[in-house]
Amino acid sequence: MPASSSPAIEGGRVLFADRAVTVPDGLDVRLAQVLGLPAAAGQPLTLPVLVGSDELRAPLVDWAQGRGALPVHVREVIVLRGPLQPGASYSLSAAINEIGPAAELVATLTDPRDGSLVARHEARVVGSERLTPAASRNAAAPPDPHAVPAGTVTPEHVAAYAAVSGDDNPVHTDAEAARALGLAAPIAHGMYLMGLMQRALDPVTYPCRFEAQFVSPATLGTALYLSRAERDGPSGPATRLRLADGEGRNIVLAIVQSGEAAVR
């Protein structure tokens, strides 16, 4: 990755630049416990827990509410040179850019010693009056006979992830708030669902790029199934992950790449 001190977004609005942040000691262990992962796996999803604060997400909420809508996540991209080290300090920068009908938040972590880019996190949302997805994107596909159970979304799982991440949005914990948005019940955090998909990536190989498309919300009580397939792409081999419910409805679709091609 080239040296950089702030997110490079043409026409973007910089939220802040070069803010000193430290990865809390034990964050990787707590996150692994919540996700049911080995504590020594070097979780790439430490990054969104670190940068996914209300301060960063609030501009996306403001952008959507200014259009009389809600911010609905459609895509997350996490790129890391290596796992973030507990106790290590980094420089955090963030910017937001409007891209047609969507808005994208870009946060970067750099090494304060030389300005080299350590990690990048992109979160793209669209504005919608409801959180329920369009029928065309929620069509059921045949269940994968090779999929492995990834657990059931429970209030305990949601509460545990909220405690680790600091994301206590009521749509994840309050039934009335969820119904007001067109949902039958509270939904799991998107980053929690991405974290569960890491079970198919043990161990995680760095450098890595983890790109996820959110297709459907996973409400409380949803049984989750995880599939993995290896594919060749224009930039090299890639692992495709699919998180679906028991009827084959896609919840999250992801592509994971490792090696230098993944971080260029």
Give the mean pLDDT of 138-145.
Answer: 63
pLDDT tens-digit series, residues 29-87:
888 888 888 766 566 666 666 655 556 777 877 887 787 777 777 888 989 888 888 88
Residue 234 has pLDDT above 50, yes or no: yes
CB-neighbour burial class of residue 116 (10 A; exposed 0-12, middle 13-18, buried 19+): middle
129 lies in some domain: yes
Rounded (5°) CA angle 250-141-177: 35
What radius of gyration do the chain's Cα atoms show? 18
Confidence band of 134 (pLDDT split at 50, 70, 90):
very low
- pLDDT of 60 reads 78
- In DSSP terms, 19 is beta-bridged to 92
142 lies in some domain: yes
- pLDDT of 264 reads 67
5 lies in some domain: no
CATH code, domain carrying 165: 3.10.129.10
24 lies in some domain: yes
- Residue 246, domain extent: 13-263
208 lies in some domain: yes
Give the mean pLDDT of 16-30.
Answer: 85
- In DSSP terms, 97 is beta-bridged to 104
Confidence band of 2 (pLDDT split at 50, 70, 90):
very low
pTM for the complete prediction? 0.86
Q: Closest Cα to residue 132, out of 101, 96, 178?
A: 178
Which residue type, as a one-letter code, is found at position 178?
A
Residue 3 has pLDDT above 60, yes or no: no
6 lies in some domain: no
Q: Kindly state the greatest CA–CA separation across the chain.
A: 51
User: How does DSSP assign 195-235, residue by residue?
Assistant: HHHGGGGSSPPSSEEEEEEE-S--BTT-EEEEEEEEEEETT
Instruction: Check: CB of residue 242 under 8 Å from CB of residue 249.
Output: no
- Taking residue 53's Cβ as centre, other Cβ atoms within 10 Å add up to 17
108 lies in some domain: yes
CA distance 138 to 92: 36
Question: Which pair of structure tokens corresponds to residue 231?
Answer: 């594919």
pLDDT tens-digit series, residues 78-118:
898 888 888 889 998 989 888 878 888 888 889 999 999 88
- pLDDT of 154 reads 95
Confidence band of 5 (pLDDT split at 50, 70, 90):
very low
172 lies in some domain: yes
pLDDT averaged over every residue in the chain: 81
Report how many domains make up the chain. Answer: 1
In b/e form, how buried is each residue of 119-130, taking b as 16+ CB within 10 angstroms?
A: bbbbbbbbbbee
Residue 225 has pLDDT above 90, yes or no: yes
